[in-house]
């Protein structure tokens, strides 16, 4: 997923952001291109997700015996509180 | 709700706030009338609602600055682009039940700026709904 830091360089608001301000957004690529060509915004910085596309939990965090049910007594709900 | 004078209205075209260059907005949503009249004792016609045509017409002041009216509209028309449109009565407040936002994906099927000597440079742009969601009012 790609985000960007954009700056509004036109005299008009862009997506509700005032001229001269910077905002972080994930824009549709075609809309982004149009806005840059028109001179509404400029891309200050491209931000890519730090999370790799495939990842694993650290060793020992989960295994094949893991279930979604909490062990009996893991939490207590008291009536009336 | 009180009556109001249209002063603070908001017009956004392809994410650009063009409010200051717009002076008139006119929305229309029409269901085609399909005549399903049969013979009857009164002679009255009978209609069903058919396909729907929705569009909004905005009168813009012509402006040719960077990112302004011409820069925004001309290429949207030339490239047959489908883009977002939004209008709401009060630009100082977010969309709500009392400040509904008219939104939709639209196309600018005709682009016809023109001028008259001595008059303000204005022209009408007609934004036509471009997908099945149409142009409609939202409270959020």
Average pLDDT value for residue range B30-49: 96
Give residue limits of the domains in chain B. Answer: 10-138
**pLDDT reported for residue A81:** 47
Is A31's CB within 8 Å of B67's CB? no
Cα-based distances in Å from B45 to B31, B52, B112 = 17, 20, 39
Which residues does chain A have with pLDDT short of 70? 1-2, 49-55, 62-81
| Residue with token string 């290429």 | B75
Is B14's CB within 8 Å of A31's CB? yes
Average pLDDT value for residue range B56-74: 95
Question: Out of A9, A11, A34, whose CB is closest to B14?
Answer: A34
Average pLDDT value for residue range B21-40: 97
| Residue with token string 């396909």 | B51
pLDDT digits (tens, 9 = 90+) for B70-102: 999 999 999 999 999 999 999 999 999 999 999
Model pTM score: 0.80
Positive or negative, the CA dihedral B133, B135, B138, B140 is: positive
Chain B partners within 8 Å of A16 (Cβ): 17
- Percentage of residues in chain B having pLDDT higher than 70: 99
**Do the Cβ atoms of A12 and B18 come closer than 8 Å?**
yes
Minimal Cα–Cα distance from A16 to chain B, Å?
7
Is A31's CB within 8 Å of B72's CB? no
Q: Is the ipTM of this complex over 0.85?
A: no
Say yes or no: domain B10-138 is CATH 2.40.30: yes
Nearest-Cα residue of chain A relative to residue B18: A12
Q: What angle do CA B93, B123, A13 make, to 5 degrees?
A: 35
Residues 6 or more apart in contact with residue B139 via CB below 8 angstroms? B95, B96, B97, B100, B101
Chain Cα centroid distance, residue A80: 39
Mutate which of A14, A21, A40 to test chain B, going by most B C-beta atoms within 10 A? A40
Q: Indicate if the pLDDT at residue B29 is higher than 50.
A: yes
């Amino acid at each position: 997923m790609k985000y960007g830091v954009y700056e509004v360089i036109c005299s008009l608001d862009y997506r509700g952001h005032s001229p001269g301000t910077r905002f972080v957004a994930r824009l549709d690529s075609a809309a982004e291109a149009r806005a840059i060509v028109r001179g509404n915004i400029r891309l200050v910085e491209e931000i890519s997700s730090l999370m790799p596309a495939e990842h694993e939990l650290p060793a020992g965090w989960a295994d094949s015996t893991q279930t979604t049910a909490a062990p009996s007594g893991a939490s207590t709900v008291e009536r009336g509180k | 709700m009180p009556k109001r004078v249209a002063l603070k209205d908001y017009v956004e075209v392809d994410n650009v706030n063009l409010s200051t260059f717009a002076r008139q907005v006119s929305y229309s949503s029409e269901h085609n009338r399909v005549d399903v009249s049969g013979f009857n004792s009164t002679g009255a016609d009978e209609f069903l609602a058919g396909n729907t045509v929705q569009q909004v017409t905005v009168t813009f002041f012509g402006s040719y600055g960077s990112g302004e009216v011409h820069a925004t509209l001309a290429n949207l028309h030339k490239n047959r682009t489908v883009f977002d449109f939004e209008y709401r009565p009060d630009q100082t407040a977010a969309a709500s039940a009392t400040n509904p936002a008219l939104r939709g994906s639209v196309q600018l099927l005709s682009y016809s700026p023109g001028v008259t000597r001595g008059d303000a440079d204005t022209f009408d742009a007609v934004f036509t709904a471009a997908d099945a969601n149409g142009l409609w009012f939202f409270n959020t």
